[in-house]
Amino acid sequence: MKGNQRSKELAEKESTPGGQKELEDAVLKTGLCTGCGACVNLCPYQAVYRDRIVTLHHCDLTRGRCYDFCPRTPADLNTLQEACDVGDDLTPEIGAVGGFFITRAADEKIRRRAQHGGTVSTLIALALREGLIDAAVLAGEGEGLLPQAVTVSDPEIAVGQGKSRFVVSPTVAEFNRVNRTDCRRIGVVATPCQALALAKMRTQTVKDTQSGIEKLQLVVGLFCGWALSWRNLTALLEKKMDIAAITGMDIPPSRYHTLEVYTKKGTVRVSLDEVNSCVRESCRYCGDMTAEFSDLSVGSARLPEGWDTARFWNQVVVRTKRGSDLLELARSKGVLEFREVPAGNLDKLKAASVNKKRAAASHPSGPRSVVDKRGQAG
């Protein structure tokens, strides 16, 4: 009886309309905003300022896309999975697993310019060359440590955008902008919260509006444990190095407990105990580590040879037919190298994902922004 009552309450909550005011009360003012930008470039009232979303003018609409598309407002998990065409091979830990691979870019130049094995850069460049997409929305390099969302159509430019600095990029805001242009087929490289926002756009319930979501042809998801506050990270690293000299960052496996910061003078290692204070509060509520609402998801590999080898490879989870077709095209074209998946790797990934889900579920006052029809949180 209690379960049925909970499901009823959740269903009622999901059907409750919301606009800018509800978005502000439930997300922006509570520290739950992910900075994805899903509410930006829909109307003139929301904007991106550095790594934050700000309200420029108040809106009195009782139902708006800004609220509907936000990854921190309620949604139905089953409906989202159907909208994204994910396969039937659903797992409770990491979503659909139509295939699990270890890959890297065959081109060593791409590997040197990209994060880890360069798989994401290779797939995006391939999709552009083959005409599967005519534009790709990526997190490009901005000023200082602040990424800048960019749209590229040139495959060579795309492969130069592969570095991560672990600060949120308003990628979905850029998608909202570019889908109003002449681009007809758009691909997006997205973190879990960004992929969730795009999935919610596919199930748009606000009538008489055009989101341009029909132009979305590819979502390459990124594994993500958390994003960092630009302001806090800058304050931390300024005490240790010249910010202008930073060329990249990475996070080795958990046993290293460190953030590696690459500079023109060498590598600086910062304890995660210090970095933890820079984690965005909204990330502590997120239970999706592997971008479950994407066509395929990519993260750093874990290999028996250790981190010095694994850092140049990726692990890939295929979720949709689009994702599978693209990966097989990359294999046939010889632009990706594949190696045997070590025994137990998928189980280790699932275990890490479960830990994140449990931490999110147990966080004090943690919201449940995604629920399935049985009233379970994800």
pLDDT of residue 109: 92
Q: Specify whether 250 is located in the same domain as 342.
A: no
In a domain, 73, yes or no: yes
What is the pTM assigned to this prediction?
Answer: 0.91
| 200: in domain | yes
Q: What is the CATH classification number for the domain harbouring 251?
A: 3.10.450
* CATH number where 198 lies: 3.40.640
In terms of domains, do 190 and 296 share one? yes
Asked if the model's pLDDT at residue 368 lies above 90, the reply is no
Residue 95 and residue 181 in one domain: yes
pLDDT score recorded for residue 279: 96
C-alpha triplet 226, 31, 252: angle, nearest 5°: 10
Residue 376 lies in a domain: no
Q: Per-residue pLDDT averaged across 287-292, rounded?
A: 97
89 shares a domain with 30: no
Place of tokens 């147990």: 362
Cβ–Cβ contacts within 10 Å for residue 343, how many? 8
Confidence (pLDDT) at 5: 47
146 and 244, same domain (yes or no):
no
**Over the stretch 178-219, which tens digit does the pLDDT of each residue have?**
999 999 999 999 999 999 999 999 987 666 566 789 999 999
Do 140 and 208 belong together in one domain?
A: yes
On whether residue 154 sits in a domain, the answer given is: yes
Same domain for 123 and 244?
no
How many domains does the chain fold into?
3
- Give the C-alpha separation, 79 to 81, whole Å: 5
Task: Name the pLDDT band for 111 (thresholds 50, 70, 90).
Answer: very high
Looking at the structure, tell me whether residues 185 and 124 fall in a common domain.
yes
Same domain assignment for residues 26 and 107: no
Residue 290's pLDDT is what? 98
pLDDT at 223 over 70: yes
**Is residue 200 located within the same domain as residue 287?**
yes
C-alpha to C-alpha distance for 287 and 378, rounded to whole angstroms: 6
Q: Which of 26, 58, 77 is the last residue of a domain?
A: 77
DSSP 254: G
State residue 157's pLDDT score.
94
370 within domain boundaries: no
Q: Is the pLDDT confidence value at 376 over 70?
A: no
d(C-alpha 120, C-alpha 6), whole Å: 40
Looking at the fold, whether 217 and 253 belong to one and the same domain comes out as no
Tell which of 278, 297, 317 closes a domain: 278
Whether residue 44 is contained in a domain is answered as: yes
Q: Which domain holds residue 7?
A: 2-77
Claim to verify: residue 47 and residue 190 sit in the same structural domain: no
Evaluate whether residue 369 is within a structural domain: no
Q: Assess if residue 266 is contained within a domain.
A: yes
Last residue of a domain, one of 77, 96, 125: 77
* Whether 247 contacts 262, CB under 8 Å: yes
* Nearest-angstrom CA–CA distance, 80 and 284: 22
> For the domain that residue 60 is a member of, what is the CATH number?
3.30.70
Predicted local distance difference test score (pLDDT) of residue 378:
33
Look at residue 145 and tell me whether its pLDDT is greater than 50.
yes
Per DSSP, the residues of 182-246 read S--SEEEEE-HHHHHHHHHHHT---TT----GGGEEEEEEE--S--B-HHHHHHHHHTTS-GGGE
